[in-house]
Amino acid sequence: MMPFLSCSFCAFIWAVLLLGTAAPIAVRAEANAAQAFVARAERELELADVANQRAQWVNQTYLTDDTNWLAARAAETFTGMQMRLAREAASFRDPAIDLLTRRRLALLVLTVRSPAPMNADQARQWAETKARMVSQYNRHRVQDGSRTLGSYGEVRRAMELNRDPSTLAQLWRDWHAVGATLEPDYARFVELSRGGAKSLGFTDVGELWRSVYDMEPAQLATDVERLWSEIRPLYVELHCYARAQLASAYGGDVQPLAGPIRIELTRNPMGMYWSGAFDLIAHDLPAPAYDLDRILEAKHPSGRAMAEYADRFWTSMALPAMPATFWARSMFEKPADRDVVCPGAAAIVDGSEDVRLKMCAGANVLDFSTVHHEVGHAVYALAYREQPFLFRASANDAFHEAFADLGALSITPSYLQAIGLVEPSQAPGPEQDLGLLLRMALQRVTFMPFSLIVDKWRWQVFSGEVPPAQYDAAWWALVAKYQGLAPTEARVEGAFDIAALPHITGDISYIRYFYAYLLEFQLFKAACDRAGWTGPLHRCSLYGDKAAGERLRAMLAMGSSAPWQAALETATGSRQLSAAGMLAYFRPLQEFLERQNAGRQCGW
C-alpha cells in the first residue's frame, strides 16, 4: 500500500479531519477567500447535484439508450464540477483558515468518490464507459426454466428457493456470465479513474477511498484486519457447522466435510449471505414458531405497504417521517412495461425533503428487511438537512449503512407481533432462539469476510498491483482465504466473476459495509443498554423507543460536520469502534456452535 502522505494537501486533509471543528484562529486574506470560495462552491454543487440526481433517477427507473445518454451527460457535468472545485479547494493551504472551513475544503476533495480525468475527452469517455457498464449489467438476463430473470435480486431469490445443486450451479454460472462482457470496459474505467485520482493528489482511487475515514489510509487497512481477527473465530465456527450440515444434506460427493464450501450451495449469487440455505443448515434445530417468508407471501403486502411498515417503525422512535413527495415519487415495485435498475436504494434528490425509494420489492423477508433499511437512509438524510451542503452526509459512509440497519435488527418477534404480522400464539420460546440467531448469523456474520475482500481486491486493482490479466486469480484467492468458498468448476481469466456484484460497475465503495455491520451492533447494544434492556440482546427491539430515537437523532443531525469518532461518542459514549456488540449479540449461538463442532476439523 502506498503511504498516505504522498502530497502536501493529502497531509492537510488528514490533519483537518482528525482535528475536527475547533474554534477559528486568526483570519488572513486567504482565509477570507477560502470562506467565500466554500460558500460559492456549495451553492454551485447543490444546484448541480439536484440536476444530476434527477437524471440518474430517470435513468434507473426508465432504462433506455436515451436515458443512459442523459445520465452519462449529467454525471459528466456534475463530476466535472466536483473535480474543478476539488482542485481549487486543494489550493487553499493557509493555516490561518478556520477549522470549520478547512474541513469543508477537505470534504470538497473527498466527496469525489469516482474521479474523472482532467482531459475533457477522457472525462467524456469515463462517463460513457461507466454508463455503458451499468446499462449492460442491468440488461443481463438468465433463464430459470421457463422464467426469465432480469436482476440480481431475482437471481438471488431463485437460488434461495432452489435446493438442487445442478440447478444452483447453472443459475450461478449464467448470472456470472455478465462479467466477461464487462471486463474490457472496467479495465479502461480503472485506468481513466486513476488519472482523475492523481489530479487530486492521490496515487489512485483506492487511496482516495481509504482517506474518507478520519484516519490515515494505511491505518485503515490495519484496522479492518484487527476487527476481522475479532470476528473470524465466530465465522470459522459458523462455516464449520454449515459445511457439516450441507454435507449431511447433499452427501460428501457434492459437499465434502473438509475444505471450502461450494459457493452455489450458499444459495446466493456471491456467497455473501447464506440465509437462503437456512432450511438445510438448521434442519435439526427446533422449528421456528413462525416463517416470516410464508406470512409475507400469504399476506402479500405491496411494495408501498412494506415501505409504510418501515416508515411507522422509524417514526415510532420520534424520527422524521417520510414526506408526501416520497410516496408520490418512489418506485416500490418492478414495472411491467420497462427495464429498470432493481437493487433497492434510497435516492436523496435534494437537501430539503425530496427523498425517494427505488426498489423492485417482493413479499419476502429479505425485501422486508431491505425496505426498513432503505427508508432508514431517507430518515438520516432528513435529519441532517439543516446542515450546509458539504455536511449533508453521514459521519462517514458506514454510519449511513449502520443506522439504516438498526431497522433490520429490530425485526424481532416482539416487533412483528406489535405490527400484527405475527400472532401472540406464534411467539417463539427460548428454545427457538438458536434458530432465529442462526438465521441472522447467516445474513450478518457470513457477510463480514465478503464485505472486506471486495475492496481489498479493488485496492489492488486501482493501484495496478493486480492487472486485468489477473483479475480473476486475485479475486478467487481472496474468496478462498477469507470466505472459505470455492466455485464448482475451475474459473478462467476473463470470466471477471466479481462483476456479478452491482457495486463493481456502479463504482461504489464496499468497505463501508464491513464497518457498518460492526457499527450497527455497537449502536444497537448501546441503545438497548441505555433503555435498561436486561434480556438477550437479540430479543431487544428499538420499535417505539423514543429515548433511543432522541439520542440517535442528535448523532444524525451532525451530518459530516465533525469526525466520526465524535458522532459515535454522541450515540454510544465511546469513540472506539469495536466488534464487541456483534459478538455479544451472537454469543449464545457461538457457544452452541462450539459444542456442535467439537471433534470436527474446522477451517479450510
167-217 pLDDT, tens per residue?
Answer: 999 999 999 999 999 999 999 999 999 999 998 889 999 999 998 888 888
Same-domain status, 522 and 504: no
| Closest by CA position to 461, among listed 76, 95, 189, 65 | 189
**Span 34-46, average pLDDT:** 94
Confidence band, pLDDT 50/70/90 cuts, at residue 23: very low
The single residue listed with the C-alpha cell 414458531 is: 289
Catalytic-labelled residue, pool 76, 154, 216, 374 = 374
Confidence band, pLDDT 50/70/90 cuts, at residue 18: very low
Catalytic-labelled residue, pool 183, 503, 569, 594 = 503
User: Who has greater pLDDT, 458 or 344?
Assistant: 458
Residue 122 falls inside a structural domain: no
Residue 602 falls inside a structural domain: no
Residue 124 falls inside a structural domain: no
Same-domain status, 468 and 587: no
Same-domain status, 389 and 273: no
Same-domain status, 296 and 423: yes
Same-domain status, 350 and 408: yes
Same-domain status, 520 and 412: yes
User: Who has greater pLDDT, 429 or 190?
Assistant: 190
Confidence band, pLDDT 50/70/90 cuts, at residue 431: confident
Full residue range of the structural domain in which residue 411 is found:
292-427+512-596
Q: Angle CA(174)–CA(175)–CA(178) in degrees, nearest 5?
A: 100
Same-domain status, 541 and 404: yes
Total Cβ atoms within 10 A of residue 169: 17
Same-domain status, 88 and 143: no
Instruction: Give the separation between CA 496 and CA 507, rounded to whole angstroms.
Output: 15
Same-domain status, 153 and 269: yes
Q: 3-state DSSP helix/strand/coil percent for the chain, to nearest 5? A: 65, 5, 35
Residue 197 falls inside a structural domain: no
Q: Please say if the pLDDT value at position 149 is more than 70.
A: yes
Residue 323 falls inside a structural domain: yes
What is the structure's pLDDT at 28?
66
Residue 576 falls inside a structural domain: yes
pLDDT tens digit sequence for 533-548: 888 999 899 999 999 9
Q: Using the 3D structure, point to which of 112, 142, 166 is the last residue of a domain.
A: 112
**Known catalytic membership, residue 503:** yes
Same-domain status, 590 and 531: yes
What is the structure's pLDDT at 7?
42
Question: Please, are residues 314 and 320 in contact by the beta-carbon 8 Å criterion?
Answer: yes
Residue 128 falls inside a structural domain: no
pLDDT tens digit sequence for 270-301: 999 999 999 999 988 887 778 888 999 999 99
**Known catalytic membership, residue 88:** no
Question: Please, are residues 136 and 180 in contact by the beta-carbon 8 Å criterion?
Answer: no
Helix H or strand E encompassing 577: none
Same-domain status, 386 and 296: yes
- pTM tops 0.95, yes or no: no
Most distant CA pair in the chain, distance: 75
What is the structure's pLDDT at 1?
29
Q: Please say if the pLDDT value at position 8 is more than 70.
A: no
| Closest by CA position to 416, among listed 365, 479, 461 | 365
Domain count along the chain: 3
* Share of residues in the chain with pLDDT > 90 (%): 73
Residue 191 falls inside a structural domain: no
Q: Please say if the pLDDT value at position 38 is more than 90.
A: yes
Confidence band, pLDDT 50/70/90 cuts, at residue 24: very low
Same-domain status, 31 and 103: yes
* DSSP-derived 3-state class of residue 307: helix
